[in-house]
Amino acid sequence: MNQETKVFKITPDNFSDVVRECADIIRRGGTVAIPTETVYGLGANALDPTAVNRIFHAKGRPADNPLIVHVASVEQLEQLVLEIPSQARSLINAFWPGPLTIILKRTVIVPDITTGGLDTVAVRMPADVVARELIRVSAKPLAAPSANISGRPSPTTAAHVLHDLEGRIDAVIDAGSTCIGVESTVIDMSGEKPVILRPGYISAKKIEEVIGEVDIGYTDHMTDGTEVVRSPGMKYTHYSPSATVLLLEGPHDLVLDKIREMYADFTCRGARVGLLVTSIDLSSLTNDIVYLGGKDEPEEVARNLFLGLRSLDERGVNIILADGSFTHEGVGAAVMNRLRKASEMIIKL
C-alpha cells in the first residue's frame, strides 16, 4: 500500500469543513484516523465489510480480533444490539459519552468481519467532539481500533499515527494529544454476570458503584493457551516498542536503586539504555529518559506512557528500564496492565 494520506489539522475555524470532508471519505468506504479522549482510532464505516477490511489491512491486525464500534447516540446503539439490559443502561447513563466500551449481543446488520465472527459487538460513545461529530455527520457507526500497526504502542498524537500508518490510510485528523492516554475500559454485558475484559480509565470500583459486583476477566500476562481467552485481543502481543522493555515493580526507592544499578550494568556492556521513570532524581544519568509523572499521579503517568515508549524507541535505545512503582489505584491499574504486556521481563523487588 502506498497511497496519499491527507492530514487535517483541525482548528475552530475549519472544524465543520474538516468533519464534512472526512465524513465523505467514510461514506465512500475509506479510512480516517480520528482523535478520541483515550487514544487515536482508525475509523471506517462499521457496517461496510470492505471498509472494515481496509482497517485490518492497514494495521496488519489478525482477523479474529474484533473492533470497537463507536456511536454518537443511543439510537445508533439500538440498531447494533439485540437488547440493552438494565445494568448496561445504567452504565451508559453513568459513563457515556466516555471511555467505557460495552459488549452486547449484536444484530445481523453488524458484519462478521467487524466482530471477528462473534455474536457480540463492542460499542462505545467517545467523549471527543471531533469523533462524535464525524459519526453524526457521516451517519455511520465507526469501527475504530487504536490507529497503530498491530502490536505497537497505541498512538496518542497524529504524529504517532503517521509514523505507523502514513501511506496506508486515507486521512488523519490532527487534534493534538489525547487527554487520557490509555484505551477504554472494556466490559462484557452480554452474559449472566458483567465481566471487565480490559482495564481502562474507568476503574472496576467506579463501575461497581453503579451496577454492583463485576468479575475481572483479564490477566496482565500473556495467556499460555490453557486459559480461556474471552477477549480475542488478549492473546496477542501488545503495546511493544522495538526496544526490549524490562519492568521493575516494588517499593519506589528500591525500584529507583535497582534502575541505577541496571543502567550502569547494561551501559557498561555496551547497550544504549532508555529510562521510563516516575522520579526526576534519575535525570542526571542520561538524556534517554522520559519522566512519566509522579508515583502518586496515575493520570499523568497514563498520558505519558505510550508517548514515552515511542519516544525512547525513536531515539534508538536497545533496552528500556520501566519504573512500575507508581500507584496501581484507579487508572494506575490500566497503565500497569499495558506496561506488563509491553515487557519482556518483570523484576519484582
Half-sphere exposure in the Cβ direction for 337 (13 Å, CA): 22
- Residue selected from 76, 87, 184, 278 as contacting ligand TXA according to rule CB under 6 A: 184
Q: Of 135-164, which residues contact Mg ion (CB under 5 A)?
A: 146
- Residue selected from 18, 22, 35, 41 as contacting ligand TXA according to rule CB under 6 A: 41
> Cα(271)–Cα(274) distance, rounded to whole angstroms?
10
Give the distance, in angstroms, between the CA of residue 1 and the centroid of all CA atoms in the same chain. 24
Cα distances (Å, whole numbers) of residue 305 to 136, 155, 238, 264: 31, 10, 13, 23
Residue among 81 and 243 whose Cβ is closer to ligand TXA:
81
Cβ atoms of residues 283 and 291 within 8 Å: yes
Three-state SS at 264: helix
- Tell me if 233 contacts ligand TXA by CB under 6 A: yes
Return the beta strands (E) in 144-200 as ranges: 171-174, 185-188, 195-198
- Tell me if 231 contacts Mg ion by CB under 5 A: no
- Residue selected from 55, 77, 102, 121 as contacting ligand TXA according to rule CB under 6 A: 121
- Tell me if 156 contacts ligand TXA by CB under 6 A: no
Rounded to 5 degrees, what are φ and ψ at 345? -150, 140
- Residue selected from 118, 211, 321, 339 as contacting ligand TXA according to rule CB under 6 A: 118
- Tell me if 102 contacts ligand TXA by CB under 6 A: no
Name the residue with cell 519506589. 252
- Tell me if 278 contacts ligand TXA by CB under 6 A: no
Among ligand TXA, Mg ion, none, what does residue 29 contact (CB within 5–8 Å per kind)?
none
- Tell me if 185 contacts Mg ion by CB under 5 A: no
Residue among 61 and 140 whose Cβ is closer to Mg ion:
61
Q: Of 128-147, which residues contact ligand TXA (CB under 6 A)?
A: 144-146
- Tell me if 115 contacts ligand TXA by CB under 6 A: yes
Nearest Cα to Cα of residue 180 among 161, 154, 162: 154
Among ligand TXA, Mg ion, none, what does residue 275 contact (CB within 5–8 Å per kind)?
none
> Cα(42)–Cα(183) distance, rounded to whole angstroms?
13
Among Mg ion, ligand TXA, none, what does residue 104 contact (CB within 5–8 Å per kind)?
none
- Residue selected from 45, 87, 120, 278 as contacting ligand TXA according to rule CB under 6 A: 120
Return the beta strands (E) in the chain as ranges: 6-9, 32-34, 41-45, 68-70, 100-105, 120-124, 142-143, 171-174, 185-188, 195-198, 215-216, 244-249, 273-277, 289-291, 319-323, 345-348
Among ligand TXA, Mg ion, none, what does residue 36 contact (CB within 5–8 Å per kind)?
ligand TXA
Cβ atoms of residues 207 and 214 within 8 Å: yes
Q: How far is the CB of 141 from Mg ion (least distance, A)?
A: 18
Which residues lie near ligand TXA (CB under 6 A)?
Answer: 36, 38-39, 41, 65-68, 99, 101, 103, 115, 118, 120-122, 144-146, 183-184, 186, 197-198, 231-233
Which residues lie near Mg ion (CB under 5 A)?
Answer: 146
